[in-house]
Amino acid sequence: MMNHFMILAVLLPLRTCHTAYSQQGSLMFPVTYFNVSKDLALQHLIVEWDVDKTAHDAELAMSFEIQVHRADEATVWTDFHNVTLNKSGKPLHWIWDSDLPLECMSHSVRIRSKAEASKIWSQWSPWETVLGLDASDNYGPKIFPEEKVIEEGLGITLCCIGRKGQIIKEFFLSDSDVNYFNKTNRQIGLLTAKNVTLRGASQPVSVFCKEPCSEEPCYAHAVFFVGRPPDTPGDFSCQTRNMTTVTCTWNQGRDTYLYGCHSSKHTLFDEFSQNLVPCTVSCSEQSSQCSCSWDIGQQRIYNITLTVENALGRKTATEAFDVTHRIYPLPPFQLWEECTDTEIKLHWNHQNKGIELFCQTEVFQPNGKAELYNGSDTQLHHTSITLGGRQPFTKYTARVRCGAAKNFWRWSEWSKAQTIRTKEAAPSGKVDIWREITPVLRGRNVTLFWKEEPGFRANARSISYEITWEKVEDSSKAECISLSSAYNSTRIFIDNHPYRITIMAKNNVNSSLPSILIIPGATGTEKMLNDSELKEEKVNGTEDGILISWEPRHTYDSYVIDWCSFPMSQPCDLQWERFGPNTSSALINSAAFVPGVRYNFRVYGSTANRASLLEKKTGFLKEQPPEFCTEVKNIELSNHAVTLFWDPCPTNKTDCGFLRGYCIYVSPVQEDCNLKGSIKHVHSDGSVLCKYTIENPEERRYTVKHLTSNTKYKLAVVAYTGGGEFPELNFMYIDTPLDSDMMYLLVLLVIVPSLIVAICIWKMKWVKEGCCPVIPTPNKSKVLSFKEFKIGSEKVLKISDCTPDTLAVDNKVEAQKLHLQSLMPSTPTEDKTDVHNSSWDYHNENENENEKRNFTSTPTPQTHTWFENLAYSSHLAVESDPYQLPETLETSKAEVSAVPYQPQYYLSILNDDAPSSPGEAAGRKTSLRYISQTDVHCIGRRL
């Protein structure tokens, strides 16, 4: 039995090997070798394993599953590693980067395998454990990592391992700006900081750990730095300046914020010699430029690799070159010159021995313009260049740079600038001369003006002007004066003969070409000199100047225009310009021109240095409104018109513009204006004025028509120019007379009808009072407005309150008749009625007394008969009163029936016994008088 098993064990590997080639998918190749180690410097777990040799021989494609487990944590990291085996039989490797320092905890690793073609995994290998310091007995708490460099924006996890039996109580960062969280698990504390930011130079982040005790071993401290990985070197290039030393330069990029032992390391490696370049790197903190130099020796070709690295990364740059093609010469030095008045020869030296150079010279003109000149001389040690076409006595600045004549790489720096001045020469060009002639007694005063022509050059440090004048017919008696360059005008006296005037500029070398001016003789030419007879023509200004045009004459070879830049001052700073024979217009511009100033121009024709006045012009650069207020001197006033008179404008007040006319403004004082033939104008105060425009500057009067009589008007007259009107309105006020025709019409249409109406109204009142007197009404009585005189809505006055009015009848027969008629029943009687406060009383006067009316209100019971007045109410009642008079008491004893108001009763009383004769009628008329109700005397009560 044992032999069978031994034979099976021997044959099994053979069967397995055979099957590996035929049925790989159904076999497993477990790990035969497995080892785990750690690299604390790099914080790596290194896993190494191997499988059976038959799998290597079969070159199988296999998959491996690896798991990592951290002590005291349930988290397991899983990774898959796929590889195709080869026949070399070398073990396989896998590296795991830990986010937690490996010192903090123990880590265990296991692995299993399978052929990629198979679906069956082998069994897991046993856990292989790498111990951390958590299993050790430390003297005190420790923080890991102790010192680390972190890239900005990333995070870091730290741990603090306490002593056995101790618990980590505090674990924190000194920087409160860093977001972090921590947790503790008995002996081990973990702290994670996320998104750490850059701090200043050499400012690390401190970490503190503390156990729950106060002794010194209970504390731990560590730091970590935040920085950036290096940038790829920029502008990496190598060159030589003297074929002895090679220098490489580059830009290291942005700051990494890592310094000291953590700063970036620069190394140069030559690929041709396979050696590090023996140079020392130096970098500038201000410019971020780095350089490295070494001796060339015999080597001419290099392939340099520059490596820049720090704890966060590394970057490289390469440069391959031939030294003879990378010559960057040193700048020339010791410049000196040899010059004349028109030529400069510049010399210099250089330090580039054995190198053939090609040089370039830059010359700066006095106006700052630069000119480049390439030299053709390629000497090794001494070079020069000749610069022609220079101006005499002119300062130039020159500098030189050089480059390799063969295999040009780049120019050297510029040499120091050399300032050079050419020598003096005679003045070049001519002086332009002009004059102003003023006739005086026995001759003329000639004011001479001169200026340098555009091509004139003094060519020396200082010059003077030499003026000579002589008679044209007799040149033997010439006069001469010399003036320094500070003068540009002078005055001389000449007689009436023709004169030739010459001016030259003179320096230490020689004189310029002469400028000649001929002054014609005064005999027979007085008219020509008196230019007041020429009429001035108005010219217009533009944005660019004042345009002057004239009629060309073929007899002149040039034209001259002169003017004063400051017309109101003395001297006026006379200016002039010359124009060719084919010119008939010119735009005169000057920095001295200002708006609102009148400039006078004179146009001369010149031939053979003789000038003749042709035309006069006057104009403004820009016209301005007048500077004076027009004053009205006189007015002529009528009912419907006013004529205004004003004085002409002062001459010295119109220099701001050409006077074009006047504007007249009219308006009633109390209202807006709307006159026929005018234009509406809205004033600054909002009122509407009538505007009349007079376009004739010579006009001195104007009549404003269509005014309203007896009305107050305000008027103003202002002048206007091409620049506008006088800005202020100085109003004068007038009152138009009253129109007599309108008065007559007013009398006829208003006053007369009003008088007629008034008379008619007065007459109507008289007729009404005479024919239809007003009957008093109690309802209109002010006395009865009190509450005690009202019953319901009716106003009532008791007989007991007041004595009623009475009618006195002298004829007793008629009184009795009237009394009887008043007692006739017409309506049902009432037991008790109120009587109103008035009645008719007919009484008998003394027979000897003349017939007249007596309006006394005192009752006379002895001689009068009393009757009740039934006209005031439709119902009457008599009520006894203890204060009534005896007569009244007597009449009230009998029962009286109330009678409605019937005016015909009283008319019948007057008409029943009509008189048979006019005398009888007159007697009856005079026997009756009426006592007004307003004369009531109250008995027993005072109202």
pLDDT over 50 at 887, yes or no: no
Q: Are 716 and 644 in contact (CB under 8 A)?
A: no
pLDDT tens sequence across 246-288: 999 999 999 898 888 889 999 999 999 999 999 999 998 788 8
Asked if residue 515 is part of any domain, the answer here is: no
Q: Per this entry, what is the length of the chain?
A: 943
Q: Are 665 and 715 in contact (CB under 8 A)?
A: yes
DSSP track, 566-581 = STTSSS--EEEEEE-T
Q: Which residues contact 571 (CB under 8 A, 6 or more apart)?
A: 489
Task: Rank 63-77, 130-144, 169-183, 839-853 by mean pLDDT and report only the highest.
Answer: 63-77
Range of the structural domain that residue 378 is part of: 333-421
**Segment (H or E) for 765:** helix 752-771
Q: Is 738 in a helix, a strand, or coil?
A: coil
What pLDDT is attached to residue 80? 93
Average pLDDT over residues 688-709: 92
Angle, helices 903-911 vs 812-823, to 10°: value is 150
Average pLDDT over residues 491-518: 94
Asked if residue 73 is part of any domain, the answer here is: yes
How far, in whole angstroms, is CA 793 from its chain's centroid? 81
* Assigned token pair, 608: 């053979």
- Claim to verify: residue 470 and residue 410 sit in the same structural domain: no
- Claim to verify: residue 603 and residue 650 sit in the same structural domain: no
Asked if residue 395 is part of any domain, the answer here is: yes
Which of 227, 245, 275 represents a domain boundary (last residue)?
227
Q: Are 658 and 620 in contact (CB under 8 A)?
A: yes
pLDDT tens sequence across 605-663: 999 999 999 999 999 999 999 887 788 889 998 888 999 999 887 665 557 888 899 99
Average pLDDT over residues 229-240: 94
> Cα separation of 502 and 236, whole Å?
71
What pLDDT is attached to residue 670? 86
Instruction: From residue 537, give the alpha-carbon distance in Å to each of 599, 611, 702.
Output: 12, 20, 28
Would the pTM count as exceeding 0.85? no
DSSP state of 802: B
Asked if residue 705 is part of any domain, the answer here is: yes
- Claim to verify: residue 555 and residue 497 sit in the same structural domain: no
For the chain, how far is it from start to end, CA to CA, in angstroms? 168
Which of 558, 588, 622 represents a domain boundary (last residue)?
622
Q: Which residues contact 640 (CB under 8 A, 6 or more apart)?
A: 705, 706, 707, 708, 709, 736, 739
Which of 705, 740, 775 represents a domain boundary (last residue)?
740
> Cα separation of 699 and 831, whole Å?
105
How, if at all, do strands 395-404 and 357-364 pair? antiparallel
What pLDDT is attached to residue 16? 34
What pLDDT is attached to residue 376? 66
pLDDT over 70 at 818, yes or no: no
Average pLDDT over residues 738-748: 69
- Claim to verify: residue 286 and residue 338 sit in the same structural domain: no
User: Which of 46-55, 105-114, 204-213, 715-724 comes out lowest in average pLDDT?
Assistant: 204-213
Asked if residue 895 is part of any domain, the answer here is: no
pLDDT over 70 at 560, yes or no: yes
User: Which of 108-122, 133-147, 510-524, 628-642 comes out lowest in average pLDDT?
Assistant: 133-147
Asked if residue 871 is part of any domain, the answer here is: no
Q: Is 500 in a helix, a strand, or coil?
A: strand
CA angle (885, 890, 893) in 5-degree steps: 125
pLDDT over 80 at 768, yes or no: no
Average pLDDT over residues 689-708: 92
Average pLDDT over residues 308-326: 94
Number of domains making up the chain: 7
Q: What are the counts of helices (DSSP H) followed by strands (DSSP E) for the chain? A: 9, 59
| Of 337, 352, 347, 345, residue with least CA distance to 411 | 352
* Assigned token pair, 628: 């004076």
- Claim to verify: residue 572 and residue 598 sit in the same structural domain: yes
In SS3 terms, 134-180 reads as HHCCCCCCEEECCEEEEECCCCEEEEEECCCCCCCCEEEECCCCCEE
How many CB atoms are closer than 10 A to CB 42?
11
Average pLDDT over residues 304-323: 94
What pLDDT is attached to residue 41? 83
- Claim to verify: residue 439 and residue 414 sit in the same structural domain: no
User: Which of 54-63, 101-110, 341-350, 754-763 comes out lowest in average pLDDT?
Assistant: 754-763
DSSP state of 747: I
What pLDDT is attached to residue 652? 59
pLDDT over 50 at 868, yes or no: no
pLDDT over 60 at 922, yes or no: no
**Residue 400 pLDDT level (bands cut at 50, 70, 90):** very high
Asked if residue 867 is part of any domain, the answer here is: no
- Claim to verify: residue 178 and residue 223 sit in the same structural domain: yes
Q: Which residue has the higher pLDDT, 807 or 522?
A: 522
How many CB atoms are closer than 10 A to CB 318?
12
Q: For tokens 């009163």, what's the residue?
A: 881
- Claim to verify: residue 338 and residue 406 sit in the same structural domain: yes
- Claim to verify: residue 449 and residue 401 sit in the same structural domain: no
The CATH number of residue 57's host domain is 2.60.40.10
- Claim to verify: residue 558 and residue 602 sit in the same structural domain: yes
Asked if residue 42 is part of any domain, the answer here is: yes
- Claim to verify: residue 171 and residue 215 sit in the same structural domain: yes
**φ, ψ dihedrals at 656, nearest 5°:** -85, -15
- Claim to verify: residue 76 and residue 111 sit in the same structural domain: yes
Average pLDDT over residues 205-211: 87
pLDDT over 90 at 467, yes or no: yes
What pLDDT is attached to residue 716? 92
pLDDT over 70 at 11, yes or no: no
pLDDT over 90 at 791, yes or no: no
pLDDT over 50 at 860, yes or no: no
